[in-house]
Structure 1
Amino acid sequence: MTTDALRGRVAVVTGASRGIGRAIALMLGSHGVKVAAAARTDADLRAVCDDIAGHGGEATPVCTDMTSEEGVKRLVRTTVERLGKLDIVINNAGIGVFGPIEETATEDWDRVMAVNVRGAFILCREAIPHLRQNDGTTWIINICSVVGVKGYVNQAAYTASKHALLGMTKVLAQEVQKDGIRVHAVCPGGVDTGLVAAARPDLDRSVLMRPEEIAEIVLFLLTRQGNAVVDQINVRRAASQPWW
């Protein structure tokens, strides 16, 4: 499939107001995908949608709290109502709290799980009927993390949430393969975002990957051809030892 084949497709991108989500939304919009951009802050979402429109694309902002089941359901409904269908789901929204386990508050743990795992689960569940009814291939791409592959000190809540998201992604891929829905996990290492800066303030940001590099991986997954199954892509920066 060429990138031209994406024109007219409809995508939901969560966490679209900044970082990796913003880069993915802009990339999709530049290839003719109609984007439902979801995040908590309306002003930031409108800025992303204005950028997409300024380059000839189409996007609609949907202010969404990923901890709210009704909010996530409304995201799917609004996308279909405004843009006509749903072909692509990008679960990118994510938060983290950092520190030793013994200093991690239960409410902080619950909040990370609510956004990173529960919200993604609800979005997948609500999107599947719409993805299934479309002709041709449709996609769910979950932005996991290197911490979903291995653990890191002082990142217990974030690590546990990304392990859970990766596990759910693997199960979901098997459940919906028969319906023509491709499910992928992208597990980035150090990317120059606010989340990584908070988790690893010791890192030299000049050696981190750019959000646009992760967006390019997503584009590859959406346009690749052939019978190979690509269930998980681990992406690390060139200077990492061995991951970060």
Structure 2
Amino acid sequence: MDAVRSEGLAGRVALVTGAGQGVGQGIALALASEGVSVAVVGRTAAKLEETCRLLKERGVDAEAFACDVADTEAVPGVVEEVVRRFGRLDILVNNAWAGAMGPLLELSDRAFRKGFETGPFATFAFMKAAHPHLKATGDGSIVNLVTSAMVRWDPTTYGAYAASKVALRSLTRTAAVEWAPDGIRVNSIAPHALSPGLKWWTENNPEEAEEFIASIPMRRIGDCEGDIGRAVVALVGADLRYLTGATIPLDGGQAFFG
């Protein structure tokens, strides 16, 4: 087989949910460094605008789209608006999630349901709405964010979170198989990253944080852009064009997916 030269990602368009901060922002910044324009989707306008400012500093086009991903009926309109604004859609990153964690008997039905509404239900809506546009490029890519809590050695308090992400992992695998003939790759990543929430936790729970970091073979929590974002860049690029349906742990070697 002849050698394949990567054409890079410059000129492509990505839609990233939950991109106002943390992992979503890190992924958006990493994509922007490769010349990818980004539709920044999330709930908080001020955070979205700040991400757009950072992206534009890297020389790419960026625009904020306010959206509560749990409102799945609004999702198709958001995707169409993104395509009208940018003219195409090549990459979809489903990062947004809002739900609850805690012992099962302390969780309300509403709290348990929210994780599914913002997780697999929202992702399903974005994936379906994006499908025709990703297919039109002939080289579309979807990255869904799951979690190593799905295989955590002690799932106590993580049950609702993990359950929604297990459903999302299954959705990822199914879409990868069904949409491969359409030229769309679908993968998931399970990251540990120093998001604002995790940073707050480590600073306010130093002893527990020390134990947590000690359980990571690399002995550090990943950087939102440098570790997670750069991995997504590789995942959606041409060098990994034969990879689909996979779950990639980005956690310094902590989780064992079997």
On whether the aligned pair clears a TM of 0.5, the verdict is: yes
Structure-2 separation of matches of 1:121 and 1:47? 27
Change (3 A) 1:3 1:66: farther
**Shift of residue 198, structure 1, vs aligned partner:** 7.7
Given that 1:98 and 1:199 are in contact with CA atoms closer than 8 Å, whether structure 2 keeps it comes out as: no
The 1-side partners of 2:180 and 2:201 are apart by 35
TM-aligned CA deviation for residue 29 of structure 1: 1.4
Distance 1:33 1:131 in 2: 15
CA RMSD, 1 decimal:
2.3
Question: Is 1:64 matched up with 2:67?
Answer: yes
Moved over 2 A (4+): 1-5, 148-151, 194-202, 204-207, 224-230, 240-243
How do residues 164-175 of structure 1 correspond to structure 2 at under 5 angstroms?
A: 164-175=167-178
Gaps of 5+ in 2: 214-218
Normalised to the residue count of structure 2, the TM-score between the two structures is 0.85
> Partners in 2 of 1:175 and 1:103 — Cα distance?
38
Q: Is 1:221 aligned to 2:224, yes or no?
A: no
What is the CA-CA distance between 1:167 and the residue it aligns to? 0.6
Aligned partner of 2:223 among 210, 220, 224: 210
CA contact (8 A) 1:148 1:161 kept: no
Whether 1:8 and 2:23 are equivalent positions in the alignment is no
Distance 1:241 1:140 in 2: 22
- Which amino acid is 1:203 matched to? A
- C-alpha distance after superposition, 1:110-149 (max 9, x if no partner): 1111101110110001110111122x31101111111234
1:42 and 2:45 matched: yes
Q: With the length of structure 1 as denominator, give the TM-score of the two structures.
A: 0.90
Counterpart in the other structure of 1:110:
113
Name the % identity: 31
Structure 1 residue aligned with 2:250: 235
Secondary structure of the structure 2 residue equivalent to 1:89: strand
Using the TM superposition, give the Cα deviation of residue 93 of structure 1 relative to its aligned residue in structure 2, in angstroms: 0.5
Secondary structure, counterpart of 1:38 in structure 2: strand
Query: What is the distance in 1 between the residues matched to 2:82 and 2:100?
Result: 30
Output the amino acid matched with 1:111.
K
> How far did residue 27 of structure 1 move?
1.2
Judge conservation of contact 2:151–2:255 (CA < 8 Å) in 1: no
CA contact (8 A) 1:6 1:32 kept: yes
1:80 maps to which residue? 83
